[in-house]
Amino acid sequence: MPSTTAHKLAKGQKEISVSEFFEKNRQILGFDSPVKSLIMGVKEAVDNALDACEEAQMLPEIVVRIDKIDQKEYRVSVEDNGPGIVSTSMPNVFGRLLYGSRFHAVRQSRGQQGIGISATIMYGQITTGKAATARSKVEGAEAAKEIDIIIDTKKNAPVLLREDFIPWNEKEHGTRVAFYMNGRYVTGKQSVLEYLRQTAIVNPHASITFIDPDGRRYNFERATEQMPPLSKEIKPHPDGIELGTLMNMIKATKEKTLVKFLQNDFNRISERVAKEICAAAALPESTRPSNLTLESSKQLLEGMGKVKIMAPQVDCLSPIGGNLIRKGLKHVLMDIKPEFYAPPISREPKVHTGNPFLIEVGIVYGGDMPSDQPVQILRFANRVPLLYQQGACVITKAIESTDWRRYGLEQRGGSGIPFGPAIILVHVASTKIPFTSEAKEAIASVPAIQEEIALALKACGRSLKTHLNKKERKTRTRSKFEIVQIIIPLMAEKTAKIVGKPVPDLRGTLTKIMNVVWIDDSVIYEKKRHRVKVQVYNYTPKQQRFKVHTVLPKGGLDLASCSLRPSEIKDDEKITWELPKIASTALYEISFELKGLDQDAFSETELYVSGINPVDVMGADPLPGDWDLEGVNFTETEAPAAEKAEDEEDEPDYDESGEELNDE
């Protein structure tokens, strides 16, 4: 008898609708706790609003409102000024799962599954029994359409309870969706407010208003009028594509030959490259795609791996860009007054499983942040904040496996989340973000992505370290400077007066105390210009002559403003000055101006020296090897070693003998 278990199971197997499935497994969508459900509800609606505005190239104006109905129940309403939804699509957009415009598009957007808003409405309906209300008006329409909607979960189909046309005169176009759901409103690290705050950081072009259940209003104003560029749709890129996807594409193609299929259905495959792939796969160019077997598909995949293919173009991705990341961070983090914003890093696009992606990283340091706590990690996927599942996310893994001790943060054993007064922001932008689940809370550990994040973190970390080094050097040298500039001259004046003799020449004393060339810089922003002053004090016993180098933002230098003409300008940004001879204890000043830059774009001057022994210099680093300047091997000025030994103290420092005399 064939009454096996399989047969028994087969009897019970019947098609279950997607909605029914999600109803039973709501945690997959992220609706697994009252607090989280409320955040998810807001998030799905806000993501859609931002997506729609971006697609229509409109500056988003979003109003989020949460009202408390009773102990458990809340009403959430999200309104945007986007392009609106044509009235015939509204029932499916809000009442059918897996209905969306992005499901099949290879392009960067927040939504990618066609589940978000209908799942939210379904969750609200299950927990409160109430219908959702959606209203939308497209440009030029006379009135908005408004519907009350519930979802038939068995059929995965919308059921309209009411359908109306409403003038909505104050709005030219836009969408408002409102729904009831059970939840819990909180504030803190994982909250609606935090979600919106972080959204504002990475969407500085959006204006977001939030009215909380107590009626408090929070305004995240627009920090820039600059829209993120519209990301273009592209075809799948062959790098790392999976066999299943390839076979699906083979099945779906309209092309009649393999070479045309490769050329037209993929990104970055020219005719030449297509032919190369055919050759590498040992498949005739004229093969009909429909004739490809599993075996020959595998062959084709291998062939694709052998040929070098150009990286996908950038325009399918919409990076935030270094400038706007800094703007967004500054705008929202104003009250913690950070001391340093590392120049954000925006990496070139790379590909994972056929999908282009790129990584952006920003680090904020200091100010009113606690220094004995783990750093704060802000994770973003396609400009959407990720608040949950931090531990499972590739971003966290990349941060944990970076040795932050090198970059000036504390980290026990050189791995794990570092400690210190810092915020690390990581944005992963991709045509398809490989989330660990449908709830879109954490990004899966794809090696190519982790590697790119690590590289960006290191680059940003290096800027942080440079800043910290500079800061430390400043405090160390400031005290010496105080001695030679203020205290010693006063001492000379005073004692001269007491003994009734002329003020002595202090050169010998000053150079003995400092015995370095001391370089200091200051930047003032005034009338849309950065005025930079570099002061070079020769506190060595002999005259000095060397070169000073700096890297300035490309095209920023106003050549006419330079007090000393640069002796060389490379790549429009690497500047070299050959200083004249500077006598012992003399000061030489270079000043110049930068034009056409945002105030934020320049705050400290990176200074390098060559032609002098770097140990004799304070306030500038030796010229790095990758500067590749000709003839900069420094000529060592003979070190005044003998002199140094002579004034070595025999006695310990009296004032640092370190004992509390008043303990009796």
Ligand X SMILES: Nc1ncnc2c1ncn2[C@@H]1O[C@H](COP(=O)(O)OP(=O)(O)OP(=O)(O)O)[C@@H](O)[C@H]1O
Residue 29 in the binding site for ligand X (CB under 6 A): no
Residue 505 in the binding site for other proteins (CB under 8 A): yes
Q: Report in angstroms how near the CB of residue 498 gets to other proteins at its nearest.
A: 5
Candidate list 498, 560, 641, 642; residue touching other proteins; CB under 8 A: 498
Per-residue tokens: 470? 């500079």
Instruction: For other proteins, give the closer residue by CB, 310 or 491.
Output: 491
Candidate list 26, 65, 102, 383; residue touching ligand X; CB under 6 A: 102
The entry of other proteins, ligand X, Mg ion, none near residue 167 (CB within 5 to 8 angstroms by kind) is none
Partners of 523 in the β-ladder: 532
Residue 82 in the binding site for Mg ion (CB under 5 A): no
Candidate list 170, 479, 630, 642; residue touching other proteins; CB under 8 A: 479
With residue 516 as reference, give the H or E element that holds it.
Answer: strand 516-526
* Of residues 385, 357, 54, the one with CA closest to residue 228: 54
* Of residues 202, 468, 152, the one with CA closest to residue 328: 202
The entry of other proteins, Mg ion, ligand X, none near residue 133 (CB within 5 to 8 angstroms by kind) is none
- CA distances in angstroms from 10 to 14, 76, 474, listed in the order given: 8, 42, 76
Per-residue tokens: 408? 């000036």
Residue 663 in the binding site for other proteins (CB under 8 A): yes
Stretch that binds other proteins, among 209-217, 293-301, 488-496, 625-633 (CB under 8 A): 488-496
Instruction: For ligand X, give the closer residue by CB, 101 or 209.
Output: 101
SS3 at position 549: strand
Instruction: For ligand X, give the closer residue by CB, 198 or 297.
Output: 198
Per-residue tokens: 660? 């509390």
Residue 486 in the binding site for other proteins (CB under 8 A): yes
Stretch that binds other proteins, among 17-25, 244-252, 382-390, 476-484 (CB under 8 A): 476-484
Q: What does the alpha-carbon distance between residue 346 and residue 229 come to, in Å, rounded to a whole number?
A: 15
Angle subtended at Cα 359 by Cα 228 and Cα 192, rounded to the nearest 5 degrees: 65
- Residue that the structure tokens 């102990």 belong to: 71
Q: Report in angstroms how near the CB of residue 609 gets to Mg ion at its nearest.
A: 54
Residues 115-144 binding other proteins (CB under 8 A) are none
Residue 437 in the binding site for ligand X (CB under 6 A): no
Q: What does the alpha-carbon distance between residue 293 and residue 299 come to, in Å, rounded to a whole number?
A: 10
Residue 655 in the binding site for other proteins (CB under 8 A): yes
Number of alpha carbons in the 13 Å side-chain half-sphere of residue 370 = 6
- CA distances in angstroms from 9 to 4, 14, 59, 602, listed in the order given: 9, 10, 54, 68
Site string for ligand X, 109-148 (x = CB under 6 A): --xxxxxxxx------------------------------
Residue 116 in the binding site for Mg ion (CB under 5 A): yes
- CA distances in angstroms from 566 to 575, 588, 589, 624, listed in the order given: 6, 15, 13, 19
Q: What does the alpha-carbon distance between residue 664 and residue 650 come to, in Å, rounded to a whole number?
A: 30
Residue 101 in the binding site for ligand X (CB under 6 A): yes
- CA distances in angstroms from 379 to 387, 426, 441, 539, listed in the order given: 7, 5, 10, 48
Q: Report in angstroms how near the CB of residue 60 gets to Mg ion at its nearest.
A: 14
Strands 345-346 and 355-365: antiparallel
* Of residues 176, 124, 189, 172, the one with CA closest to residue 151: 124
Candidate list 138, 488, 551, 597; residue touching other proteins; CB under 8 A: 488
Angle subtended at Cα 537 by Cα 535 and Cα 542, rounded to the nearest 5 degrees: 150
Instruction: For Mg ion, give the closer residue by CB, 114 or 619.
Output: 114
Candidate list 39, 42, 52, 283; residue touching ligand X; CB under 6 A: 52
Candidate list 499, 641, 642, 645; residue touching other proteins; CB under 8 A: 499
Stretch that binds ligand X, among 98-106, 193-201, 350-358, 459-467 (CB under 6 A): 98-106
Strands 207-211 and 132-137: unpaired
With residue 465 as reference, give the H or E element that holds it.
Answer: helix 447-482
Residues 29-48 binding Mg ion (CB under 5 A) are 47-48
CB-based contact 58:228 (threshold 8 Å): no
Q: Report in angstroms how near the CB of residue 355 gets to ligand X at its nearest.
A: 15
Other beta carbons less than 10 A from residue 408's beta carbon: 19
In the bound complex, which residue of the shown chain has the CB atom lying closest to ligand X? 111
Residue 166 in the binding site for other proteins (CB under 8 A): no
Q: What does the alpha-carbon distance between residue 536 and residue 584 come to, in Å, rounded to a whole number?
A: 11
Residue 111 in the binding site for Mg ion (CB under 5 A): yes
Candidate list 60, 82, 204, 328; residue touching ligand X; CB under 6 A: 82
The entry of ligand X, Mg ion, other proteins, none near residue 101 (CB within 5 to 8 angstroms by kind) is ligand X
Total chain residues near other proteins (CB under 8 A):
38
Q: What does the alpha-carbon distance between residue 265 and residue 469 come to, in Å, rounded to a whole number?
A: 51
SS3 at position 599: helix
Q: What does the alpha-carbon distance between residue 76 and residue 496 come to, in Å, rounded to a whole number?
A: 79
Q: Which residues of 290-304 are buried (b: 16+ CB within 10 A; e: fewer)?
A: eebeeebbebbbebb
Q: Is 73 exposed, middle or buried (0-12, 13-18, 19+ CB in 10 A)?
A: middle
Candidate list 161, 310, 336, 496; residue touching other proteins; CB under 8 A: 496
Other beta carbons less than 10 A from residue 653's beta carbon: 8
Stretch that binds other proteins, among 115-123, 149-157, 422-430, 482-490 (CB under 8 A): 482-490
Q: Report in angstroms how near the CB of residue 517 gets to other proteins at its nearest.
A: 18
Candidate list 93, 250, 361, 484; residue touching ligand X; CB under 6 A: 93
Instruction: For ligand X, give the closer residue by CB, 437 or 613.
Output: 437
Stretch that binds other proteins, among 106-114, 376-384, 503-511, 517-525 (CB under 8 A): 503-511
Residue 114 in the binding site for Mg ion (CB under 5 A): no
* Of residues 305, 311, 297, 302, the one with CA closest to residue 246: 297
Site string for other proteins, 507-546 (x = CB under 8 A): xxx--xx---------------------------------
Candidate list 39, 42, 49, 579; residue touching ligand X; CB under 6 A: 49
Residue 153 in the binding site for ligand X (CB under 6 A): no
Instruction: For ligand X, give the closer residue by CB, 179 or 365.
Output: 179
Instruction: For other proteins, give the closer residue by CB, 163 or 643.
Output: 643
Site string for other proteins, 429-468 (x = CB under 8 A): ----------------------------------------
Instruction: For Mg ion, give the closer residue by CB, 115 or 250.
Output: 115
Q: What does the alpha-carbon distance between residue 336 and residue 506 come to, in Å, rounded to a whole number?
A: 45
Q: Report in angstroms how near the CB of residue 250 gets to ligand X at its nearest.
A: 26
The entry of ligand X, Mg ion, other proteins, none near residue 507 (CB within 5 to 8 angstroms by kind) is other proteins
Strands 547-551 and 529-539: unpaired
CB-based contact 220:194 (threshold 8 Å): no
Q: Report in angstroms how near the CB of residue 442 gets to Mg ion at its nearest.
A: 18
Return residues touching Mg ion (CB under 5 A).
Answer: 47-48, 111, 116
